[in-house]
Chain A
């Protein structure tokens, strides 16, 4: 099955047309760039310094754990670097540290200030702090990473499930199809939130449980498209020709049908991403999402709603969510446009 991984001219042509839609193309770069940057959140917003010099030695606390004793402290626990910087012993040892641009992690509460949190935006906290003194910007950045990782993992898992199950239905047809279809309908009728609450209360709330339950419902829509495509392509002449040549099921499915069937699925994937971001945020907002104190946008929204007198919290979260969803929608629109068979024939 040589060459199935190299992009076909159709794929190259679609990419060329995608690039000609500036809004979609730019959105892809912005969202993609933001996601790649967010993978390095720990270097952007962290309460551990990137670099620390003490007693003539070099330390990299953002990457590695050092006990307090390394810097003349008493305990084997990790030091509070903000406190350490101010400590006379550290200064006496000619200690020096370089913090990331935002010297606050998403979980650390800044209670050093005289007034009680939440603090309004200031030079110390660009977007202020939340009700327990955590830096809002830092939580936004780390929350974005969690959100995107969740949504991308959701896209990947539900795409695989949808493609495999829908493909089996469409390719096998007949009883296999009808049986699976009825089972899917029963499964889809289960209330998603109940399943999530139930499993969350049994196994505890976690990223993986959340991902599994969400994906277990998200793939269904995708499988319908795959099923239809496999049904349609199964009887195309080039598939019959391949059968006449003696091709086995594997070859027919993976070389003849699948590459031609992926179009509709790819078109939905950006919208699955949007659904993933929306779902995670909504669940966090309701309190059924990630366990505290994970940085999350839904949790920020929730705080913003409770503390309407601190508009910076709600405003930051809403703005971030709005921007992300808008960018993803623009990408989705572009992809849909490019895959639209009416704008250019599928086979030409």
Chain B
């Protein structure tokens, strides 16, 4: 069992049809993810870098069963979880979660923090009483460095970094094993980025989480990842341990990405 990777992706393809003409017939396909294979062992952070439009987000969402896969397989603890129905996927939602890029758009502006973070508990623990749920949400807020007094506030009362913490608390509510972090710091100030990354690392140590950490910025990925995948036009062009990648980038695209990292002379 221990040698079974937590996540295994084999020859994954996600194509989006391009519709054309009056009858909106599929005229072609955008190969957002085009034959990707990799495995994520338990407890590590897998970095995934690539420029905008390289298919990183699509790959993350395909693993989470949030969109239909065109071909290939996704396995979770060895079990095939490709294209599950909503009902079949629900037990799985407790095991794998997501943190999203845009902290301004990832929280429903009309719900309180207690409702946003509590939603997962409502769905997966319907028997939980309301007061228990509140206590649990307050505990989760504490874990991500927010105050219990924030429970009844609304998202617009928080800064970007705080909102991202709320998003993290929401993902943690179901006690997942695996979290897809979809550019969780790209929209944040540099000083806040470090705080969030440190928080994610602390949480990984505390709860034994496994991350798929998506970013377009190699500097961020280098800091947090054990292993890095470089994605370019729907394909993985390089896969290497983080430090190795930086020392000896083998693919031309990786070198260009590395050159794009700003350095302070």
Query: B7 to chain A: closest CB distance in Å?
Result: 15
A238→B108 contact, CB < 8 A: yes
B119→A260 contact, CB < 8 A: no
Complex Cα–Cα for A57 and B130 (A): 59
Complex Cα–Cα for A3 and B104 (A): 22
How many A residues touch the partner, as a band? 20 to 34
B98→A244 contact, CB < 8 A: yes
| B138 is an interface residue with CB less than 8 A from chain A | no
B90→A246 contact, CB < 8 A: yes
Q: Which residues of B contact A346 (CB under 8 A)?
A: 109
B109→A241 contact, CB < 8 A: no
Complex Cα–Cα for A192 and B175 (A): 57
| A247 is an interface residue with CB less than 8 A from chain B | yes
How would residues 40 to 77 of chain B score, 1 for a CB under 8 Å from any chain A CB and 0 otherwise? 00000000000000000000010010100000000000
A255→B104 contact, CB < 8 A: no
A245→B93 contact, CB < 8 A: yes
| B170 is an interface residue with CB less than 8 A from chain A | yes
Interface size on B, residues (CB 8 A): 36
| A291 is an interface residue with CB less than 8 A from chain B | no
A240→B100 contact, CB < 8 A: yes
Query: A280 to chain B: closest CB distance in Å?
Result: 35
Query: B168 to chain A: closest CB distance in Å?
Result: 12
| A248 is an interface residue with CB less than 8 A from chain B | yes
Q: Which residues of A in the span 1-47 have a Cβ within 8 Å of any Cβ on B? A: 1-3, 8-10
| A115 is an interface residue with CB less than 8 A from chain B | no
Q: Which residues of A contact B93 (CB under 8 A)?
A: 244-246
A238→B105 contact, CB < 8 A: yes
Task: Specify the chain A residue showing the minimal Cβ separation from B101.
Answer: A237
- Given the known inter-chain contacts A237-B102, A347-B156, please indicate yes or no for A244 contacting B97, CB distance below 8 A: yes
Complex Cα–Cα for A248 and B87 (A): 9
Query: B180 to chain A: closest CB distance in Å?
Result: 8
| B79 is an interface residue with CB less than 8 A from chain A | no
| B204 is an interface residue with CB less than 8 A from chain A | no
| B89 is an interface residue with CB less than 8 A from chain A | yes
B154→A245 contact, CB < 8 A: no
- Given the known inter-chain contacts A3-B112, A245-B170, please indicate yes or no for A240 contacting B66, CB distance below 8 A: yes
Complex Cα–Cα for A311 and B102 (A): 65
| B27 is an interface residue with CB less than 8 A from chain A | no
A241→B100 contact, CB < 8 A: yes
By CB atoms of chain A within 10 A, which of B66, B89, B108 has the most?
B108
How would residues 107 to 128 of chain B score, 1 for a CB under 8 Å from any chain A CB and 0 otherwise? 1111110010001101110000
**Among the listed B24, B90, B109, B119, which residue makes an inter-chain contact with A242, where contact means beta carbons less than 8 Å apart?**
B119
| A91 is an interface residue with CB less than 8 A from chain B | no
Task: Specify the chain B residue showing the minimal Cβ separation from A6.
Answer: B112
**Among the listed A10, A246, A256, which residue makes an inter-chain contact with B89, where contact means beta carbons less than 8 Å apart?**
A246
Query: A239 to chain B: closest CB distance in Å?
Result: 8
A8→B110 contact, CB < 8 A: yes
B105→A244 contact, CB < 8 A: no
By CB atoms of chain B within 10 A, which of A2, A10, A240, A246 has the most?
A246
- Given the known inter-chain contacts A2-B130, A240-B100, A241-B167, please indicate yes or no for A247 contacting B119, CB distance below 8 A: yes
Query: Told that A259-B110, A347-B109 touch, could you supply 4 new A-B pairs with CB distance under 8 A?
Result: A1-B122, A244-B97, A245-B120, A347-B155
Q: Which residues of A contact B (CB under 8 A)?
A: 1-3, 8-10, 178, 236-238, 240-249, 251, 255-256, 259-260, 346-348
Q: Can you list 15 A-B contacts with CB-CB less than 8 angstroms, sorted by A residue number?
A: A3-B111, A9-B156, A237-B100, A240-B61, A241-B167, A244-B93, A244-B97, A245-B93, A245-B97, A246-B94, A246-B123, A249-B86, A256-B108, A260-B110, A347-B109
Q: Which residues of B contact A (CB under 8 A)?
A: 24, 61, 64, 66, 86, 89-90, 93-94, 97-98, 100-102, 104-112, 115, 119-120, 122-124, 130, 154-156, 167, 170, 174
